[in-house]
Amino acid sequence: MGNQNQKREGTKKKRKDKKKKHHAYALIVLILAAAIIILGTVLLFYIQEVEVSGNEYCDSQEIVECVQNDKLSKNSLYVLAKYSLGQGKKPECLDTLKVSMKNPWTLKITVKEKTMVGCVKSGKKYSYFDQTGLVVNETEVKDSKIPVVSGLKIKKNKLYSQIKTTNQTKFSEIVEACGESQRYGIYPEKIYVKDQQIYMDFGNVRACLGNQVSAEQIAQIRPILKKLGDKTGILHLESYSENNTTITFEMEDISQEN
C-alpha cells in the first residue's frame, strides 16, 4: 500500500510539472505573439510619406512639423487617433486640418487656410492678415487681389500676431472693408486712411467710404465701376445708407494723389 501511494503521488507530481511547463510554454508563446504584433504594427504604420493638400501660402513643411510634433508622431495610427480625439495641433495660418491614411505608411493631411483679406508693407515685406487682423503670411510677393493698407502707423505686424496700429478702431473699419470687398468680388489695389476718411483705389476710380464702413456701401461699388468704364474720379459713398441712397461721382485726375 505504501509503495502504491508513493507511485500515485509521483504520478500526480509529474502531471503538475507537465501542466506548469505547458502553462509556461503558452505564456511564452503569447508574449512572443504580442511582441510580433506590436513590432509589426510599429513597422507597418511607421510614416514614410506625408501628403499635404489644400494649402497655397502656408508652408507644407510647417504643417508636417506641426502634425508630427512629438516622438510618437512617427506612427500613423497614433497621429490619426490624436487628431480624432481633438488633441492635435495646427499652424495659425489654417482654419481646419484633417488627418487620414492613404495606406498604413502614408499620412494624408487636408487643410483649409485662413482667408487673407489685406496686407501692410514694411520695407520689401508684405504682411498679409485675415478677417480678424491676424498676420497669417509674410512674403516679398504682392498678391494682385489683396489690397495694401496704408495711412495708419503700424506698431506691430509679426507673423501669427494681431496687427497693432496707432488707431485700432480705424484699422478695424479697414479690416471690415477688406473682407466685404472680397465678399462682393471687388479687389482694390489699396485701402487707406486720409484725414480720418477711408478710401479704396480701383485703378482710375477712388471710392470714398467716410469714417465708417458698411456692407451696403461696398455692395454699390461693383455695378457702379462697370457703368463708369474708363472715367477717372472720386466715387462718393460716405453718406450712403439705407435712409440716404445718394451717390455722386466727381470727375477728377487722381493719378498724382496719395
Three cell numbers, residue 251:
470727375
Rounded CA gap, 9 and 39, in Å? Answer: 45
The range of the structural domain enclosing residue 170 comes to: 118-251
Q: Are residues 180 and 233 in the same domain?
A: yes
As for how many domains the chain has, the answer is 2
Average pLDDT, the chain: 86
Domain final position from 68, 98, 113: 113
Q: ∠ CA(131), CA(136), CA(140), 5° rounding?
A: 115
Q: How far is CA 111 from the centre of its chain?
A: 7
Mean pLDDT is lowest, of 13-22, 89-98, 136-145, for: 13-22
Percent of the chain at pLDDT above 70? 81
Q: Are residues 99 and 122 in the same domain?
A: no
Rounded CA gap, 4 and 237, in Å? Answer: 116
Q: Are residues 108 and 122 in the same domain?
A: no
Q: Are residues 125 and 239 in the same domain?
A: yes
Q: Are residues 106 and 132 in the same domain?
A: no
Three-class secondary structure of residue 255 per DSSP: coil
Tell me what pLDDT residue 257 has.
56
Give the Å distances, CA to CA, from 167 to 155, 203, 227: 10, 27, 35
CATH number of the CATH domain containing 198: 3.40.50
43-86 pLDDT tens trace: 578 899 999 999 999 999 999 999 999 888 899 988 999 999 99
Q: Are 79 and 104 in contact (CB under 8 A)?
A: no
Q: Are residues 78 and 158 in the same domain?
A: no
Rounded CA gap, 69 and 72, in Å? Answer: 9
